[in-house]
Chain A
Amino acid sequence: MFMATPIIQVENLVKSYGDVHAVRGVSFTVDEGEVFGLLGPNGAGKTSTVEILEGLRDLDGGSVSVCGLDPQRDSQALKHEIGAALQSTSLPDKLRVMEALRLFASFYKRRRNPEELLKRFGLEEKRNTFYSQLSGGQKQRLALAMALLNDPKVLFFDEPTAGLDPQVRREIYDIIEELKREKKTIVMTTHYIEEAERLCDRVAIVDHGKVVALGTPRELKSHSGGTTRIEVRLAKPEPDGALKKLEGVADARELDGAYVIHSHRPPKTIVDLVKHLEAEGNELVSLEIASPSLEDVFIEMTGRRLRD
C-alpha cells in the first residue's frame, strides 16, 4: 500500500466568535475511506470545526484543506465535492420529498439518480409527502439521502442522530455502516459514546475547543488502562483519597455526587470497598459496573462526564 496524502488536513485551527473561543488549536487528518468522529459535549467546538471544513465559516487561524482545496478560497469548487447533513437545518414545509431530491440534485455537476436514493433510504412511499409531514427519522433519512446526491468524496454528518429515539437512531447507524462498507470518507460529530465507538475508525475527543485525545476507539480505551469502571453512591461522603487505596484501583474520583472508581480487578476492589465502608460506618446506596468505554477516557482527560 502506498501512503496517500490525507483527504482532510486540519492544522492548528482557531475560531472565535467575539470573546468566545470556540476552537483553540485543533489538528487532525482524515484518510480516504475513513470514518472519523469528533466526540465531545455540546459547545466543545465540533460543529464550528466541521462548518469550517465545509466552507460555511471562515477560520481565524491555522490551516485546513479538504480534497486538496482551501474551503475558504475554493468554496465553490469544494461544494461540488462534499455532501453534508447539517445540524439545525430544515427544508421548506411545502416541499415534497421527491421535489427536494430533484431540486438539490440539479445544483451539482456530478449527480446520482434521486430515484435510486429514494429507494435506498426507504422513502419511496413518502415521495409526494410534504417535508413538514415527515417524522423526525424520515427527515433525517432524507437529509442523509440529500447529502449523497452529488456522489461526494467526503461526507459530513453533524450530530446525525441528535434528538432521535433509540430505534430510529439504530436505523441511522445501519445507514452509516453501509456507507462505511462502501469506503466513503465520513467526518461525523457526536456526543453519544455508543455512536463513536460503533461507527468511527478513529475518534478525536474534543473539549473546550481542543483535541484532548485521538486514536481508534480501541487505542483510546486501552489508553485508560483497560480498567473497569465501578460507580458507587454512598450514604456519607468519603474522601476520595481513601478509595484510591482500595485493592486493584487505578483511579478514583468524585463526580456529580457519585464516586467513579477505575479498577484492574473489579471483584477484589468491590470486596475491599464493602469492608472499608463497614469499618467507616458508611453504607453503599448503589453500585454500577461498566466495561471500559470512551466515556472513561473523557472522564480521565477532563474530569467531567460527556452526557448533557
Chain B
Amino acid sequence: MRNFATLTRMRIQLTLRNRMFLFFSVIMPFGFFFLYAGVFAKGQPAGVRFFLGPVVALAVMGSFWGLSAALVMFREQGILRRFHVTPVTASDMLASSIVANYVLIFPTVLLQFIFARTIFHVTHFGDIFATFILISIGNIAFASLGLVVASVTNTMQETQVINQLIWLPLIFLSGATFPLAFLPKVVQKVSLFLPATYLVQGLSRTIFGSAHIWEHNVLISLGSLVCWAVLTFFLSAQLFRWEPEVKVPRKAKLLVLATIIPFLLLGFWENTYGNIPAQAQSALDSLSEPTKSAPSPDAPK
C-alpha cells in the first residue's frame, strides 16, 4: 500500500514535468471546450450546458492516450526493469497509473465546469453527484483501457497506431463530436456497441437532462463502465510485462476480445430494447427549439 502511494506521487510529479502532458491534459481539453462552447453553442448557456457532457467525456477519455504511451516508454527504456528488482508489484504499478491519472484529470474537468459557470453563465449543471460518479468511473475505465493498450503492444509506434485506431471511432461515433442525434440511424446502431457512447450519453443525461443516478439509462452507463473497468484492469494485470524483450503472448489477443463481450451484448440489447438514441434526439430537440424561435444575433458573451 505504501509502495502504491509513493509511486502515485512520483507519477504525478513526473507527468507535471512532461510537456506531452500539457498538450493532452490542458491544451486539447480546453481547445475542445472553447470550440464547443464558443462556436457550436454560440456561447449560449443552454447550448454550453448541452455540450458540456461530450466535452468533459473527451477530457476523461483522452487520458488513455497518455497513460499507454507513458507505460510503454517506461518499459522500452528499461525503467520498469529497475522497479522489478524492488518489492514493487505489478498491481502497485498499474493502480498508481490509474490513480495518478485520476488526480491529474480532475482539475481539468473541474475547470471546465468553472469556465462554463463564469465565462458562459451556465447556472444549472444537472445532477452533480451522478455526474461526479460517472466521471470517476469513466476515468478509471479509460485509464484501464490505456493499460491494456500498453500491455498488448510491443513498441511505442505500435502503441500510437492502436491509440489512433481507438481514438477516432471513440470521438466520432459516440456523440462526443457530433451529437448522437445528428448521426445516421445505421451509425447510431454501431455506436451502441461502444463504451464511449455510454460515457458520453450518461454524462449528457446527468448534466443536461438532470437525470439522477438511478435513472435507467444512467444506471446502464454506470454499470457497463464499472464492468468494463474491472475487466480491463484485471486483463492489464494479467498481461503486464516488466521487460522490454518479453513479447505479447498469443493468448493476449483472445483475452482482449473477451473484454469486448459485455459491450457486444449490451449493444444488441440496447439496439433491440433501449431508447438511448431517442433520448439524445429529444435532448437535441429541446435545445434547438428556443434557439430557432429567437434567431441568430444573440450576443455571445
Contact = CB atoms under 8 A, between A and B. Distances in A.
Q: Do A and B bind each other?
A: yes
Interface string B1-35: 01100110010011001100000000000000000
Interface string B97-131: 00000000000000000000000000000000000
A89 B87 contact: no
B84 to A, nearest CB: 6
A95 interface: yes
A82 B85 contact: yes
B10 A88 contact: no
A84 B84 CA distance: 10
A79 B242 CA distance: 15
B8 to A, nearest CB: 11
Select the residue from B2, B18, B74, B85 with max chain A CB neighbours within 10 A: B85
A90 to B, nearest CB: 5
Interface string A45-86: 000000000111000000000000000000010011010101
Given A92-B14, A92-B74, A95-B10, A76 B87 contact: yes
A89 B81 contact: yes
A235 interface: no
A89 B79 contact: yes
B181 interface: no
B14 A95 contact: yes
Task: State which size class the interface on B falls in.
Answer: 20 to 34
B74 to A, nearest CB: 7
Nearest to B80: A89
Given A79-B87, A88-B81, A99 B17 contact: no
Contacts of B288: none
A111 B77 CA distance: 26
A84 B13 contact: no
A107 B3 contact: yes
Contacts of A91: 79, 82
Nearest to B2: A106
A108 B86 contact: yes
A107 B10 CA distance: 13
A145 to B, nearest CB: 13
Nearest to B3: A107
B262 interface: no
A103 B10 contact: yes
Contacts of A79: 85-87
A181 interface: no
Contacts of B78: 86, 88-90
Nearest to A83: B85
Interface in A7-54: 54
A86 B82 CA distance: 7
Select the residue from B2, B10, B242 with max chain A CB neighbours within 10 A: B10
B255 interface: no
Q: Which 8 A-B pairs have the closest CB atoms?
A: A94-B17, A89-B78, A89-B82, A107-B86, A106-B6, A84-B85, A79-B87, A89-B81
Interface of B: 2-3, 6-7, 10, 13-14, 17-18, 74, 77-79, 81-82, 84-89, 242-243
11 contacts: A56-B81, A56-B85, A80-B87, A86-B81, A88-B81, A89-B81, A91-B82, A106-B6, A107-B88, A108-B86, A108-B87
